[in-house]
Amino acid sequence: MASWLAIIGGACLGGCAAPLAVNNVTDIRSTTGSRGIDVYEPKRRTDASVPEFAGDQLVEVRTFHNPGGGGEVEMAGASCSLEASGFTATMTSPAKVRVPLYRGQSSTLAVTCQKPGYQKRMITVAPIDATRQARLASGMNGGILGAVIVAGIDAAADNSKNDWRYPVAKVVLEADAAGR
């Protein structure tokens, strides 16, 4: 009985473990000739029609594995790359990557990670409208009537200046067949 309690307790602690620390920030490499974070800056100087630069964000890239069905466990040391329209980056997980934001025109990120003993895996991370998400979540707290009122407000709002954000890039790696 005591051994089962230890296993259950260990599983609970493993699921509640703090995220691994990230000690540095990875910068992107522009593929457009830009020298800064705004990858559309060279085209903007020529008065070309490009998305409005809305700042930057540190996107977390984290890798996990599932050892023996006991839940996902974060692991460090995977070689990862991030690609999007106008930029790339390479890093070792866990990592934070500074990426540009262009509100609703922000690019989807393609994140690929690999580590010896695991299969290579690629995921995509799409930006979300954080302003709209927060607005609608607050309406849900008011029940059905609150949700209806907030949905009406959201429909009438000018959402062109909303804050857009990327969620954490969570890459779950599977062990190679030979490593099982």
Domain boundaries, the chain: 21-128+162-179
Q: What is the CATH number of domain 21-128+162-179?
A: 2.60.40
**Rounded Cα distance, 61 and 81, in Å:** 10
pLDDT at residue 97, rounded to an integer: 98
Which residues is 63 bridged to in the sheet? 75, 171
pLDDT at residue 178, rounded to an integer: 64
In terms of DSSP bridges, do strands 25-27 and 95-100 run parallel, antiparallel, or are they unpaired?
parallel
pTM exceeds cut of 0.95: no
pLDDT tens digit sequence for 107-166? 999 999 999 999 999 999 999 999 888 777 766 676 777 667 766 766 666 667 889 999
**Rounded Cα distance, 120 and 117, in Å:** 10
| Residues of the chain by 3-state class (helix, strand, coil), percent to 5 | 30, 30, 35
